[in-house]
Amino acid sequence: MRSLILRTTALGLLPTTLLFAAYLLWRGHHLPGGGFIAGLVVGAALVVHGLAFGGAATRARFSAWLTPAAPLGLAIALASGLPAVLAGRPYLTHFHGAVPVPGHGPVAVSTALVFDLGVFLVVVGVTAALLAALAEGDDR
Amino acid sequence: MSAAVTALSLLALPFAAAGAALAVPRRLAGILALAVALTVVGLAVPWWSAVSETPLLLPFAWMPELGIDAGLRLDRLGLFFVLLIGGIGAAVAQYSRVYVAAGDARGFWPLLLAFMGAMLGLALADSLLLFFVFWELTTMASALLIAMSGGPEARRGAVRAFAITGAGGLCLLTGMILIAQQADAWTFSALAAKAGAITADPAHIPALLLMLVGVATKSAQAPFHVWLPGAMAAPAPVSAYLHSATMVKAGVLLLGRLFPIFSESPLWLPVLMAVGLTTFVVGAWNAWRSDDLKQLLAHSTVSNLGMLVAMYGIYARTGATAELVNIANHALYKSALFLLVGWLEKATGTRDFSLLDREHWIRAEPFGGALIGIGALAMAGVPLLFGFVAKEGFLIGVLGTPGPVAGLAVAAALLGAALTVGAAFKLFIGTFWGPEPPTLERGHPRKKRSVWLLAVPAVLLVPQLVGGVVPAWQVRQLAGPGAQWAGGPAFWHHFDLLLVAGLAVFAVGGALFLLRTRLARLPRLGSLIEPIDASAGVMIGLARRLGDAMQAGGTGHHAGLTLLAALAALAPGLALAVGAARSAPADVLWAQAGLAVLPAGLVIAGALAAAAVRERFTALVLAAVAGYGLALFYVLLRAPDLALTQVLVETVSLILLLLAFKRLPEPRPEPLAVGRLAIALAGGLALALLAWSAAVVTPADPAGAQQAALAEPVGHGRNAVNVILVDIRGADTLGEIAVLAVAALAAVALLAPWRGRGATPAKPEVEGGGSCDR
């Protein structure tokens, strides 16, 4: 399935999909989206890349980013609950604030987003690990 | 520095350093361990005088609804143990830096630091449950450190240690829960405040006995002492730290914590004295009989632990003011001896007594020999060393035992002391003063041995000399306020029963040493090794048989069993739900149908087609079609997050399944399995009934509505699903992603043997791998 059309399309599709995933992650708190969905979108993008270029090439290109993704995501998710403990509240109480962005107005940020980022990284890491393990030595 | 900050940093520092030691090179990790141990001592020393009189309690609320807290305490016993752990830890760290070979396992320094942190947690914990957590952590660290040197002997020793101390830990937990329920108190200090009421009620006896079983397993009391000699497979510094100075003393620490609570109990004195004296004699006998010097020290440690346990029985009569004297004495000289045996092994090339007995080593290694001599004489309790003071205290205590069994107790104590003297002479005189010249080429040359191998034990033995010459001063430092010591500790009182007993002990011990070759045929005592190994083997065999029954036979067999179990668990709830649904009005279901007929048709068509088609890949794609139909359902129910997730999960799963199925061999055509068909139909029917009753029965207050209402005000988000996932039920999500990560890890590990072998392996080497697609 190493067709030229697929390869070109996949290469063009990849950055757009990643951007879309980031967008889904960002807006998850107010509109449909969130960490799980964004992570799965990135997983689908990896599948397309693998279909176009083969498992070995995909792994060679992305493994440096994706191997530590799952543990890193877990660590981030665990850490996002710690500011609450330091402030004397129960673990995983989320704090919400607003960061003023010039020319746009206040942008809402919160530790919930950090937690969602952790979830996102875990899902990306898990999908990538399973794909890499199954697609090894494969021509598809 | 406040007490709370000190306590927390004492706990956090070793664990943080253990994490760091995983990443840094070995040399740096050794220096880090030394620094951490010295810091622990430095943090603890300023608090010694402050807590001498009254303990300092630091409560931390953990689950206030259940009354459980994670409190810490700083008191004499705990702070003494902190100093012991830190001080001997520093000595062991420095020794290990020059002893543990560069090629040894990478896990040494992180495990040692983690163990140090767990022991510190034991010393500082006031809460019962926190104490238990650290207790189990020391068990795990100890087993891992024993197994570290590799080889079947080390692994057997580690499994044995883990089995015995782990079982003891479970008894301890049960006892703790029983007593906490009885007294409604979850900390040692709260229990101590209610001591009178607890011991007056006979219901405390099972709890006390269970906790004493925990003590006996951890501190290697007879008959559970068999794990300690097996633990000697670990390198010398590990034996010195864990199995002589700190971990085995954890049981004694627990006795110290239980003493204010249970000393009035009628069971305390008899049980502890019986167990302790039996262990004292058994350990001393085995020590005297040992031919391997490290085993000799291990059995002697068992014997000394018996003495410490018996002392706690005696304290019920006399008060526990002198508890630290005995603990300090034993920890210091025994750890020094273990380190010295490690040096001896390097210097002479062997630990076997039958070889060393014949060789004359004292002129070749005078300094090392002198140090071992001091340690051995301290073990024997010779005057002018601190060991004598401790042994005297023990004999005085036993001699004062009232009651009919006093004679038996005294005889046991004297016999054990005599055997210990025999073992000590074996260690010193037998090893160094043989008739033949030494075989120098068997050991490492002197230039290659670091000076620290002798310097560290020398430092540890200094308190023995100090305490021997000025015992009153040393005892005053260690003993609690108001300590009673008849006539003051000294090495000469007057000609009395005690002196006669002491001289008799030395005479008998000397005779036993001189007759050692004549008496070499006598057996060792009290070995429960075969039954314990056998029961461990039985459990492992049972687990293997269960695994074979459940998992061998292919995916279909395993899935069928899982589905059956799920249906059995679901049955009662399903019966209730169907009963409630049948009383609902009949036309509610059809009124809701509307457009849902379309995706329903898609799901049904896809599922039936997938079941009917023979070709694997087509079946997978048709199953995915059913999944997409389900996503359409979610769209109709106005759940965009669910629909998105369903579509994405279905796509990624389809790809993963296609990739996985590519590797499997072609399935053999086989007849229809009626049993599996029945299970599948039953499963489908159960879920259909569940869905029907869920659609028809509308509860008065749906669970989701409250949480959805909270989304905006509390969670500051308009997407209720995401707010629930991330904020309101965030802990659940944390657990789920942890499970995901572990599952991926397991999948990668399981798929590893199939790597790089192309599409269809001819003969898979993984067990049961070929029948995965039946």
Q: Please determine, for residue B630, whether its predicted confidence score (pLDDT) is greater than 70.
A: yes
CB contact under 8 A, B741 and A34: no
Least confident among B53-57, B101-105, B162-166, B359-363: B101-105
Read off the pLDDT of residues B108-122 as tens digits, 9 standing for 90 and up. Answer: 888 899 999 999 999
Q: Please determine, for residue B625, whether its predicted confidence score (pLDDT) is greater than 90.
A: yes
Q: Are strands B68-69 and B61-63 parallel, antiparallel or unpaired?
A: antiparallel
Indicate the residue type of B209: L
* Mean pLDDT across B300-306: 90
Please give the Cα distance from B196 to B210 (Å, whole number): 20
Confirm if B3 and B47 have CB atoms less than 8 A apart: yes
Give the pLDDT score at A87.
Answer: 77
pTM for the full predicted model = 0.71
Give the pLDDT score at B760.
Answer: 44
Q: How far is A102 from chain B (nearest CA, A)?
A: 22
- Band (pLDDT 50/70/90 cuts) for residue A137 is low
Give the pLDDT score at B525.
Answer: 62
Which has more confidence, B484 or B515? Answer: B515
Residue A101 DSSP code: E
* Mean pLDDT across B12-40: 86
Give the pLDDT score at B105.
Answer: 64
Average pLDDT, chain B: 82
Q: Tokens representing B366?
A: 């005078």
Among A110, A123, A133, beta carbon nearest to B751: A133
Residues in A closer than 8 angstroms to B648, CB to CB, are 37, 40-41, 43-44
Q: For B583-664, where are the alpha helices, taking DSSP H only?
A: 588-591, 597-612, 616-636, 640-663
Cα B640 from chain centre: 48
- Band (pLDDT 50/70/90 cuts) for residue B774 is very low
Give the pLDDT score at B762.
Answer: 42
Count helices and strands in chain B by DSSP H and E runs? 33, 4
CA-closest candidate to residue B250, choices B113, B132, B375, B74: B132
Give the pLDDT score at A119.
Answer: 95
Burial class (CB in 10 A: 0-12, 13-18, 19+), B433: middle
Q: How far is B19 from chain A (nearest CA, A)?
A: 14
Q: How far is B757 from chain A (nearest CA, A)?
A: 7
Residues in A closer than 8 angstroms to B737, CB to CB, are 73-74, 77, 118-119, 122-123
Which of B736, B737, B760 is best to mutate for the A interface (most A CBs within 10 A)?
A: B737
Chains A, B: CB pairs < 8 Å: 143
A119 → chain B, closest CA residue:
B737
* Mean pLDDT across B685-699: 83
Give the pLDDT score at B203.
Answer: 82
* Mean pLDDT across B228-240: 83
Give the pLDDT score at B755.
Answer: 59
B63 → chain A, closest CA residue:
A90
Read off the pLDDT of residues B743-759 as tens digits, 9 standing for 90 and up. Answer: 988 988 888 776 555 44
Residues in B closer than 8 angstroms to A138, CB to CB, are 659, 662, 759
Whether residue A127 lies within 8 A of chain B, CB to CB, comes out as yes
Whether residue A77 lies within 8 A of chain B, CB to CB, comes out as yes
Give the pLDDT score at B761.
Answer: 41
Confirm if B109 and B121 have CB atoms less than 8 A apart: no
Please give the Cα distance from B323 to B312 (Å, whole number): 8
Read off the pLDDT of residues B485-500 as tens digits, 9 standing for 90 and up. Answer: 544 555 555 556 777 7
Which has more confidence, B44 or B319? Answer: B44
Among B716, B722, B757, beta carbon nearest to A28: B722
Please give the Cα distance from A132 to B622 (Å, whole number): 25
Indicate the residue type of B410: V
Most trustworthy range by pLDDT among A46-50, A136-140, B4-8, B506-510: A46-50
A33 → chain B, closest CA residue:
B641
Please give the Cα distance from B51 to B76 (Å, whole number): 6
Q: Please determine, for residue B1, whether its predicted confidence score (pLDDT) is greater than 70.
A: no
Whether residue A56 lies within 8 A of chain B, CB to CB, comes out as no
Give the pLDDT score at B623.
Answer: 93
Residues in B closer than 8 angstroms to A43, CB to CB, are 648, 652
Q: Which of residues 82-101 of A touch B (CB under 8 A)?
A: 91-92, 94, 96
* Mean pLDDT across B255-273: 87
Please give the Cα distance from B444 to B405 (Å, whole number): 52
Least confident among A57-66, B46-55, B109-118, B751-760: B751-760
Q: How many CB atoms lie within 10 A of CB A75?
A: 14
Give the pLDDT score at B737.
Answer: 94
* Mean pLDDT across B542-563: 84
Residues in A closer than 8 angstroms to B63, CB to CB, are none
Asked if the peptide bond before residue B223 counts as cis, ω within 30 degrees of 0, the response is yes
Residue B595 DSSP code: G
Maximum alpha-carbon separation in chain A: 58
* Phi (first) and psi of residue B292, to 5 degrees: -100, 130
Confirm if B210 and B174 have CB atoms less than 8 A apart: yes
Among A40, A126, A140, beta carbon nearest to B648: A40
Residues in B closer than 8 angstroms to A92, CB to CB, are 730-731, 734
Burial class (CB in 10 A: 0-12, 13-18, 19+), B84: buried
**Cα–Cα–Cα angle for B459, B462, B464, rounded to 5 degrees:** 135
> Looking at this predicted complex, what is its ipTM?
0.91
* Mean pLDDT across B148-154: 80
Give the pLDDT score at B521.
Answer: 63
Q: Please determine, for residue B763, whether its predicted confidence score (pLDDT) is greater than 50.
A: no
* Mean pLDDT across B666-674: 76
Confirm if A17 and A42 have CB atoms less than 8 A apart: yes
Q: Which of residues 425-444 of B touch A (CB under 8 A)?
A: none
Give the pLDDT score at B327.
Answer: 85
Q: Please determine, for residue B532, whether its predicted confidence score (pLDDT) is greater than 70.
A: no
* Mean pLDDT across B412-419: 87
Which of B664, B740, B748 is best to mutate for the A interface (most A CBs within 10 A)?
A: B740
Whether residue B653 lies within 8 A of chain A, CB to CB, comes out as no
CA-closest candidate to residue A32, choices B629, B655, B646: B646
Which has more confidence, B320 or A104? Answer: A104
Q: For B470-528, where are the alpha helices, taking DSSP H only?
A: 471-478, 497-514
Q: Tokens representing A15?
A: 């950055």
Query: b vs e for B518-527, b when ≥16 Cβ sit within 10 Å of the residue's Cβ?
Result: eeeeeeeebe
Least confident among A101-110, B134-143, B692-701: B692-701
Read off the pLDDT of residues B181-213 as tens digits, 9 standing for 90 and up. Answer: 888 888 888 888 888 888 888 888 889 999 999
Burial class (CB in 10 A: 0-12, 13-18, 19+), B459: middle
* Mean pLDDT across A112-128: 93
Average pLDDT, chain A: 85
* Mean pLDDT across B378-399: 81
Give the pLDDT score at A2.
Answer: 66
* Mean pLDDT across B445-463: 79
Give the pLDDT score at B415.
Answer: 87
Which has more confidence, B83 or B57? Answer: B83
SS3 B234: coil
* Phi (first) and psi of residue A105, to 5 degrees: 105, 180
Q: Please determine, for residue B464, whether its predicted confidence score (pLDDT) is greater than 60.
A: yes
Least confident among B187-196, B304-313, B362-371, B468-477: B468-477
Q: Which of residues 65-94 of B touch A (CB under 8 A)?
A: none
* Mean pLDDT across B468-484: 67
Which of A130, A139, A140 is best to mutate for the B interface (most B CBs within 10 A)?
A: A130
Which has more confidence, B123 or A108? Answer: B123
